Structure 1
Amino acid sequence: MTKDTFYEAYPGFDSNNWKNYVQKNSEDKIEYPRLDTSGLIIQFNKCPACKKVTIDIIGAGSQFPEGFRRRIFPASQAKQYPNYIPSHILKDYTEAYDILELSPKASATLSRRCLQSMIRDRWKVNEKNLYKEIDAISDKVDAKTWDAIDALRKIGNIGAHMQKDTSLIIDIEPREAEKLILLIEVLIKSWYIEMHEREKLFEDIVSIKDSKEKLGFEK
């Protein structure tokens, strides 16, 4: 909360429900008890550091027994990456991230397609399915990266469907879909960003050497 934080409430509940609506648990965290009458909260949060605002919709009451929360602004919480990363890879990653809570199945499908695109783009392999393409890069990536990707093939439906078309919608657990996205983020950093930064550093060092040679310095 900041000194310019604005708060205004228009409760759609009877007064007996509303006065006990917001409470804190034993860990001093705010809870929203289930109400007999259902409604929605629009929650605005302003970061005291960057001053940016986020807007969430929260469901409360008997119609939301498992809870409901959706971020509506900003539209995407996906990480922003440099434009030297292929646009189709970033598009699949962003869509997989944005739809994760709404449909883990669709999110996992996009993540698998994104992973396949990255393998094909970065390592220039093109096999009949993602499973075989992962096999094809076993000697191209570091051991820890390989272990993580290989382990995915042994996790539930992620592994079971890698031998099929990556565009197929598959049954998957929300936690598995989330892990796929996290893997994509790690690989983007490792295969694209770190490599780009390393190549840029090497180019700068060579450029410094060339500049000194032109000025007559000894090699």
Structure 2
Amino acid sequence: MAVSFNSPGTLMIHKLESIFSLADEEKQAIEELPIQVVDLKSGQDIVRIGDHPTQSCLVLAGFTCVYKLTSEGKRQIMTLHVPGDIPDLQSLHLNVMDMSIASISPCTVGFIQHENLRDLCERYPRIGIAFWRETLVDASVYREWLLSVGQRDAYPRMAHLFCELLMRLKAVGLVDDNTFELPITQADLADATGITSVHMNRVFQALRADGLIQTQGAQVTFPDWEKLKEAGDFDPLYLHLERASAA
């Protein structure tokens, strides 16, 4: 059953606790963070390469992506971020952004001033450790995506991505009976997996024909988790989740 959250802080806590155990006082401090909530349309940049941000964003609903463009304007999506993620947490310690982050679906984000995050980490050093672990897990996901794009064929590449999203969304309580909302176009998924939109359409058709996915509108369902994992050569170790099960 999918979980609903009463506040942005609660969602952040739920995500952090999937990789790090927090004390009650630390949770309370996160709940008290001032967070400015903003609704975004799909395709809006949140930060761009070269920006000097003074705040970080928490994804509250929908999906965002990290991307870069070639000089010819070709886009490579480096990773997707789901509710509970803080895609630009590294901007706390890097003065300039070397990547762009955009909404890839209609979404809601919460902006947190860096000064408030730094103060939180100074008062509660273990929260700083949790944030550090969050950035390390992000780096682990980047490595796995690099392996997928470089060495997996399109079919297992897409099956692997579905496995990853299922695990990450389940960790924050947003999966119901192996079903979740995926309001992302096939063109966007093609940019994320390094294949053409036409090829992505063929991969979707093959996954459906093999009974690995079912779609209804923006909803996607995975009837056979074990078969999906096998098709995607999926091992969840790289996600370092302490609290998640997609069984």
Q: TM-score, normalised by structure 2?
A: 0.24
Q: Compare CA radii of gyration and give the structure with the larger one.
A: 1
- When the two structures are superposed, what TM-score results if normalisation uses the length of structure 1? 0.26
Considering fraction of residues, name the structure with more strand.
2
